[in-house]
């Protein structure tokens, strides 16, 4: 519709909401109108929408002392350019008015911009998602589970389902799994108010990273509304839609070893720092591998790394306990460092079975369920 929509708004209030919508807008989209931000004005609400087809974000700003609505309408404006203007306007407020043929006038104190907009009727419609199977979770818990799994998703195109985190929501807990087939992270967290019916969603890792940035740290409630091939997350006045990954997630349960032949307990930070030093050389070599040598009789653990070009490094590792059989194992140090970075306890337990079987990293003395699995590297 071509209208003379007009409103006056506090610039900071507008910017705060604009910055969240911009997270869904990509400058290299194949659909030109999606480079724009859609602005809808009804009698009581100003709505901002952005989308890159994978993620869509819609934010409602209700009428208040900071938002004065004069006449309703809709327009799409070039997002990057428009946001730069708003960031640099001189005054506390600005007025926004659409003139004929979608020309939009933005005024603040002595500054007066006119930019060309597009017809909002051509903007793609957001999916309709009904609320019947919605449930609420704590933002803090959800952010935690995201950060403890999303780093392990795959980035390759050949198995798209692995580019997401597999979430099982049930009445009592969230169970989230991510794997890139070299490593795996599985986190289970108790829920006070899970869904009445168990729900399985495979959510793209990139969407989860953006969603995590939007959930504030003061733990807002997040309403989860699953749809057919989309899921909608509501966080206060923000609606965050993401497409779901199609297909069935592989059964990873059987990959996790149930017994261990060698077990070590140690401080996560001590190990992380040691790995950092040993990786200095591993990163210089083509295969990026460190070796861990566990000697139970002598109660020694050694880490070593070498690079044909640069040299080698070895150090003994301090630990709390070491039991089982002697073992020598090689692995990618970055995988173990990522696992340690999200550790939920200061002390961890690593359980090994065989030199070429995956090993497990779990929190020590915690009834929290958090398992990380790392596949070793064959070096011969």
- Stretch 205-232: mean pLDDT: 93
Beta strands 103-108 and 183-190, pairing class: unpaired
Distance CA 77, CA 120 (A): 9
pLDDT digits (tens, 9 = 90+) for 38-80: 999 999 999 999 999 999 999 999 999 999 999 999 999 999 9
Do 154 and 106 share a structural domain?
no
Tell which of 243, 272, 295 closes a domain.
243
Range of the domain at 187: 135-243
Does 285 reside within a domain? yes
Q: What is the pLDDT of residues 21-40, one digit of tens each?
A: 999 999 888 899 999 999 99
Asked whether residue 248 is domain-assigned, the answer is no
Query: What is the DSSP annotation of 58-120?
Result: EEEEE-BTTEEEEE-EEEEEEHHHHHHHHHH-SSSEEEEEE-GGGEEEEEETTEEEEEE-B-G
In-domain check, residue 130? no
Does residue 270 sit in the same domain as residue 365?
Answer: yes
Examine the domain organization and report whether 159 and 209 are in the same domain: yes
Whether 109 maps to a domain, the answer reads yes
Query: Could you tell me if 23 and 118 lie in one domain?
Result: yes
Residue 85 placed within a domain = yes
Residues 6 or more apart in contact with residue 209 via CB below 8 angstroms: 146, 150
Asked if 261 and 233 sit in the same domain, the reply is no
Q: For 78-135, how does the pLDDT look when each residue is reduced to its tens digit (9 = 90+)? A: 999 999 999 999 999 999 999 988 999 999 999 999 999 999 999 999 988 887 789 9
pLDDT confidence band for 228 (50 / 70 / 90)? confident
Domain-terminating residue out of 67, 92, 122: 122
Q: What is the mean pLDDT of residues 239-250?
A: 95
Q: Is residue 267's pLDDT more than 90?
A: yes
Residue 148 CA: distances (Å) to CA of 43, 179, 259, 328, 358: 43, 12, 24, 28, 19
Report if residue 128 sits inside a domain: no
185/234 same-domain check: yes
Same domain, 261 and 369: yes
- Same domain, residue pair 113 and 173: no
Q: Would you mind telling me the total number of residues written for the chain in this entry? A: 380
Q: How far is CA 33 from CA 37, 39, 43, 96, 124, in A?
A: 8, 13, 25, 20, 9
pLDDT at residue 366, as a whole number: 83
Q: Do 117 and 150 belong to one domain? A: no
Q: Identify whether residues 290 and 267 lie together within a single domain.
A: yes
pLDDT value, residue 193: 76
- The dihedral built from the CA positions of residue 206, 209, 214 and 219, taken in this order, carries a sign that is positive
The pLDDT value recorded for residue 2 is 46
One domain, residues 263 and 239: no
Among 98, 122, 146, the domain-final residue is: 122
219 occurs within a structural domain: yes
pLDDT for the residue numbered 239: 97
Mean of the per-residue pLDDT values for the chain?
Answer: 94
Tell the residue number behind the tokens 């919605």, with chain if given.
Answer: 134
- In the chain, the number of structural domains is 3
Contact indicator for 74, 120 with CB cutoff of 8 Å: yes
- Cα 308 to chain centroid, rounded: 37
Q: What is the CATH number of the domain that holds 181?
A: 3.10.150.10
What's the pLDDT at 298?
Answer: 97
Higher confidence at residue 228 or residue 264?
264
Indicate whether 85 and 177 sit together in one domain. Answer: no
What does the pLDDT look like over 318-349, one tens digit per residue? 999 999 999 999 999 999 999 999 999 999 99
The answer as to whether 306 is a domain residue is: yes
What pLDDT, on the 0 to 100 scale, is given for residue 3? 54
What percent of the chain shows pLDDT beyond 70? 99
- The reported pLDDT for the residue numbered 219 is 81
């Amino acid at each position: 519709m071509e209208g003379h929509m007009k409103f006056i708004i506090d610039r900071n209030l507008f910017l705060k909401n604009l910055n969240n919508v911009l997270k869904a807008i990509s400058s290299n989209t194949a659909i030109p109108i999606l480079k724009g931000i859609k602005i809808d004005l009804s009698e009581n609400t100003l709505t901002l929408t952005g989308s890159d087809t994978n993620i869509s974000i819609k934010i409602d700003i209700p009428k208040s002392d900071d938002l004065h609505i004069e006449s309703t309408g809709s327009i799409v404006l070039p997002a990057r350019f428009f946001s730069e203007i708003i960031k640099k306007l001189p005054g506390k407020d600005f007025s926004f008015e659409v003139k004929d043929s979608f020309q939009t006038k933005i005024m603040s104190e002595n500054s007066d911009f006119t930019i060309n907009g597009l017809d909002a009727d051509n903007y793609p419609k957001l999916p309709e998602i009904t609320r019947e199977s919605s449930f609420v979770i704590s933002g803090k818990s959800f952010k935690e589970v995201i950060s403890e799994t999303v780093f392990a998703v795959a980035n390759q195109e050949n198995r798209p389902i692995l580019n997401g985190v597999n979430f099982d929501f049930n009445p009592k807990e969230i169970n989230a799994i991510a794997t890139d087939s070299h490593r795996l992270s599985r986190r289970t967290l108790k829920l006070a108010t899970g869904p009445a019916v168990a729900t399985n969603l495979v959510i793209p890792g990139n969407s989860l990273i953006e969603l995590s940035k939007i959930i504030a740290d003061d733990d807002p409630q997040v309403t989860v509304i699953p749809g057919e091939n989309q899921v909608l997350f509501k966080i206060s006045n923000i609606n965050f839609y993401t497409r779901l990954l199609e297909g069935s997630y592989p059964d990873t349960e059987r990959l996790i070893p149930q017994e261990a032949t060698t077990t070590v307990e140690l401080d996560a930070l001590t190990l992380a720092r040691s790995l950092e030093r040993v990786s200095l050389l591993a990163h210089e070599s083509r295969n990026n591998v460190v070796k861990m040598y566990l000697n139970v009789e002598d109660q020694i653990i050694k880490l070593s790394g070498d690079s044909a070009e640069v040299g080698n490094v070895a150090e003994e590792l301090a630990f709390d306990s070491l039991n089982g059989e002697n073992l020598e194992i090689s692995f990618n140090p970055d995988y173990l460092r990522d696992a340690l970075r999200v550790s939920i306890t200061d002390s961890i337990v690593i359980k090994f079975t065989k030199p070429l079987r995956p090993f497990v990293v779990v929190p020590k003395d915690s009834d929290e369920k958090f398992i990380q699995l790392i596949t070793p590297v064959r070096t011969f």
